[in-house]
């Protein structure tokens, strides 16, 4: 699967699920330890507020702390929509995924950053769906591609500070279930 197709697929599912969050569900727990639905949506929204700046060549210092804390305000869905309205076209801008971006660990290939953002959308989409009791789908082709990309990065302890340690899953599990289990979820 090409990066932009993968990104768009994960983005569409995440967006669908954000729009399905009921008023009473914002404080519901998710599979992400210590994160409610609101905390999870805040995390992904903040990432997408950063994306246009990083893809445009800004450094972390240039962006500063403007996206720290609560970025959702009183209208969480509208806040997500605004972030996505800037982020989605930034990934589609010609040449955006060809250079490097500044991230916490230094500079990395923009394409690698794009795959990380795609993984986050897909996996956190499942987390969000679970939190609001809605089915979240990571299509087999996307799940398999993400699984192959993240498997080399995941050790026995997962990816500390990012994903919990892997859990066991049946060999006959779907690609989505394998991906989720690799990243510490219990599908």
Domain ranges of the chain: 3-137, 140-187
Query: Which pLDDT band holds residue 160 (cuts at 50, 70, 90)?
Result: confident
DSSP string, 162-178: TBPPP----TT--HHHH
Q: What is the pLDDT of residue 82?
A: 98
For residue range 104-144, what is the model confidence (pLDDT) as tens digits? 889 999 999 999 999 999 999 999 999 999 999 999 999 99
Q: Which CATH superfamily is domain 3-137 in?
A: dinb family like domain (1.20.120.450)
Percentage of the chain exceeding pLDDT 70: 100
pLDDT average, residue stretch 2-31: 97
Evaluate whether 183 touches 160 at the Cβ level (below 8 Å): no
Query: Residues of the chain with pLDDT > 90: what percent?
Result: 86
Work out the average pLDDT over 79-107.
96
The half-sphere exposure of 8 on its side-chain side, counting CA atoms within 13 A, is 7
Mean pLDDT, all residues of the chain: 95
How far is the C-alpha of 93 from the C-alpha of 87, rounded, in Å? 10
Contacts of 172 (CB under 8 A, 6+ apart): none
């Amino acid at each position: 699967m090409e990066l932009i197709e993968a990104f768009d697929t994960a983005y569409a599912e995440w967006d669908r699920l954000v729009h399905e969050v009921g008023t009473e569900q914002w404080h519901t727990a998710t599979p992400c330890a210590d994160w409610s639905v609101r905390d999870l949506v805040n995390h992904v929204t903040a990432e997408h507020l950063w994306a246009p700046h990083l893809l445009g060549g800004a450094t972390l210092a240039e962006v500063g702390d403007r996206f720290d804390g609560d970025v959702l305000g009183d209208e969480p869905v509208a806040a997500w929509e605004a972030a996505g309205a800037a982020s989605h076209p930034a990934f589609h801008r010609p040449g955006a995924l060809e250079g490097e971006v500044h991230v916490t660990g230094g500079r990395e290939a923009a394409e690698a950053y794009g795959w990380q953002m795609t993984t986050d959308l897909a996996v956190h989409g499942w987390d969000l769906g679970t939190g609001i009791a809605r089915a979240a789908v990571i299509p087999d082709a996307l799940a398999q591609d993400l699984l192959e990309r993240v498997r080399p990065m995941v050790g026995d302890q997962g990816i500390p500070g990012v994903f919990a340690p892997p859990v066991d899953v049946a060999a006959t599990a779907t690609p989505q279930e394998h991906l989720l289990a690799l990243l510490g979820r219990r599908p």
